[in-house]
Structure 1
Amino acid sequence: MSKNKTFIEIAKALGISPSTVSRALNDHPRISNETKQKVKKLALELDFTLNPMASSFRSNKTQTIGIIVPRISFYFHATVLTVVQNLLWKEGYQLIICQSNDSPEVEKELVNTLYASRVDGVIAATTLYTTDFSHYDILTRKQIPLVFYDRVPVNYYPAQIVKGDDYKGGFEAAEHLIKLGCKSIAHISGPLTCNLYKDRYAGYIDALKKYKIPYRQEMVFFHELSMDNAVESIQKIFKMETKPDGIFTANDTSAIGALMVARELGIEVPKEFKIVGYSNDPRSSIISPGITTIDQHPEIVGQQLAITILDLIRGTETKVELITEPTITPITLTIRESSKVL
């Protein structure tokens, strides 16, 4: 029996339209669970199954969206993924999750794979070292909606952008330490090829300038923000003749590393040394003393990403015409014991 005849037969038997039968078999979110169950039960009795691949070729839509993240293990990206997936599922879309492992080569391959998979849109947080974005051109040429988030192109690229207010986060972190009386503030950041660390570093610099606090190049480090790298840099800082009385690290892993080194050296936190991290990783709240940090609100980022990609997919204009100024999501200074006045 042909698919159309089966749709009509099911529709007549249940007193609904053939289009409702189609939507029910495709798990459309606007069709009630009761109707879906009735349709699927009767379809099973008629030995009918829907071919989603054939359906996607006819409609030119696959109801899938791809997302590329640097590392799924990062708290921020894991939270964003969960929010995006849940919201897209409610709208009838499946999320294909890809991990670049911070490799530009892998990122390029993933873009090509998602294009070949005929996804309806792509969301991407680039690697630390991506400076050439031409591998995304295949998407923009084919008018496939593209949204960059968190780690985004530093220069203009014809895609929508959702990013946190990293400059403000860096400024508020340094300003907080300054207002607590810190005069020698170290900074550990990621590679400046990445917009995140470029903006956080700029905020830190401007806070020092505003309050006329000396900038000390020897107390500033740029590298991947792993625990080992952080510990090595902080050990170097404490061997200097002039010791730091505060530190702003561009992630919470490095902030925890700073706390570990301070403990080993018998330096009291926050009495002698104050610490501010970035991201509000859950570990920053359960360690003792708790780490003051910048909350990036990944839930808000995830919500904005889902809204943005769906607006682009459903837009009737060309995708380039729909591009607006970057959407800036909020940050919040979350104060804990590592920087409190005793």
Structure 2
Amino acid sequence: MTSRKPKSENSIVDIARALGISPATVSRALNDNSRISEATRMRVKEMAKEMGYRHNSMASSLRNRRSNIIGLIVPRISMYFHAYFITSLQRQLQAAGYNLMICQSNDSVKLEKELANSLYSARVDALVVSLALYTEDISHFDGFLQQGIPLVFYDRVPTVETGAYVIKGDDYRGGLLAGNHLMQAGCRQMAYISGPLSCSIYQERTRGFVDALAKHGIALREDWVFHQELTAENAWNSLRKLFKGKHIPDGLFAANDTTAIAAVEFARERQIPIPDKLKIIGYSNDPRTSIITPPITSVEQYPSEMADKVADTLVGALQRQGSAVTRLGEPLVCPVDLVRRMTT
């Protein structure tokens, strides 16, 4: 089988030759320059369409040193918080004239590094990142900082000082709210299923929860605390351990809603009455928590509001207006609230 050589694309020069005008005139017409008459602009655009001309945005960005593309690295697009955040951020950035290039790390540090390098090579104007679960060394983002390319960490942020913009949720308060609420609901034997402590959000949620209990003279049992990837399968494995003995918890704080939903399903299977014998709090206020039976108490993170802050910061930095909401190296903390439902 013989391979067919790709047909070379027509250029501005080809359009100019076909119309008998200069390439500069064609370029201005395609860019709607007011110096070119409406009639000429229409002739040029009709010929460009007829000849299958495609604008080379990459070449233009190299000339202008702007791509109008902002890179985004998220752990998993399927996660409710990030899916909602992306939708809101993309809408706001497009309104400001920017396109969003979305990548997911799948919580792989290796892939996160590769994506950072690829987006840097693609000459994105800025980068937004929510870190993978086990990312502790953030040196793979140094190139952006060194070249003055705006870099925003959000939600899962570095646990070390950085010269980037940092916008995060008040995860400490989220843990505090969960602990206080379980105590007020009468719980005294509480379990906690959290994510890995390499990740900033689980460090803060853990600290808040532990502090809330300590204020009431309650300490968590070590064998009732789990730090793991928050999948449904891991949740079920942990719940089996929690409820296999004579002494069982009367309250559970789950550091994400997937785990909280698994806990409700586990309790239903084991015929453990909720909230009479077990009270459950999740985190993120995933829409599923309001439709499951019973509906789950959860901590609302307001992803759309966080996207507002990220968008304002990016546009301010890119347009050299100064950040409207935060400054480099000074974390902006977004509020959270407890949404009480039938599991407590």
Q: Which range, TM-score by smaller chain?
A: 0.7 to 0.9
Q: Structure 2: give runs of 5+ residues left out of the alignment.
A: 1-15, 17-21
Local SS of the residue matching 2:153: strand
From 34, 39, 44, the equivalent of 1:17 is 34
Change (3 A) 1:39 1:89: farther
Local SS of the residue matching 1:119: coil
Determine whether 1:162 maps to 2:162.
Answer: no
Q: Which amino acid aligns with 1:255?
A: A
Larger radius of gyration: 2
From 1, 4, 24, the equivalent of 1:4 is 24
Q: Can you list the C-alpha shifts for 1:230-277, whole angstroms capped at 9, x where unaligned? A: 111011111233211110000001001111111121110011110000
From 270, 273, 280, the equivalent of 2:285 is 280
TM-aligned CA deviation for residue 84 of structure 1: 0.8
TM-aligned CA deviation for residue 10 of structure 1: 7.6
Equivalent runs, 1:1-342 vs 2, <5 Å: 1=16, 2-6=22-26, 17-18=34-35, 43-47=44-48, 50-315=55-320, 323-339=328-344
Q: Any conservation in 2 of the 1:285–1:291 contact (CA below 8 Å)?
A: yes
Structure-2 residue corresponding to 1:31: none
Q: Any conservation in 1 of the 2:69–2:101 contact (CA below 8 Å)?
A: yes
Change (3 A) 1:236 1:138: same
TM-aligned CA deviation for residue 317 of structure 1: 7.6
Q: Any conservation in 2 of the 1:221–1:233 contact (CA below 8 Å)?
A: yes
Q: Which amino acid aligns with 1:44?
A: K
How far apart in 2 are the matches of 1:192 and 1:39?
63
Q: Any conservation in 1 of the 2:250–2:277 contact (CA below 8 Å)?
A: yes
CA RMSD of aligned residues (A): 2.4
Q: Structure 1: give runs of 5+ residues left out of the alignment.
A: 22-34
How far apart in 2 are the matches of 1:10 and 1:124?
35
Local SS of the residue matching 2:274: coil
Local SS of the residue matching 2:283: coil
How far apart in 2 are the matches of 1:8 and 1:141?
35
TM-score (norm 2): 0.87
How far apart in 2 are the matches of 1:310 and 1:326?
17
How far apart in 2 are the matches of 1:64 and 1:217?
47
Local SS of the residue matching 1:181: coil
Q: Can you list the C-alpha shifts for 1:40-65, whole angstroms capped at 9, x where unaligned? A: 85542242764322211111000000
How far apart in 2 are the matches of 1:207 and 1:57?
54
How far apart in 1 are the matches of 2:57 and 2:301?
38
Q: Which amino acid aligns with 2:46?
A: E
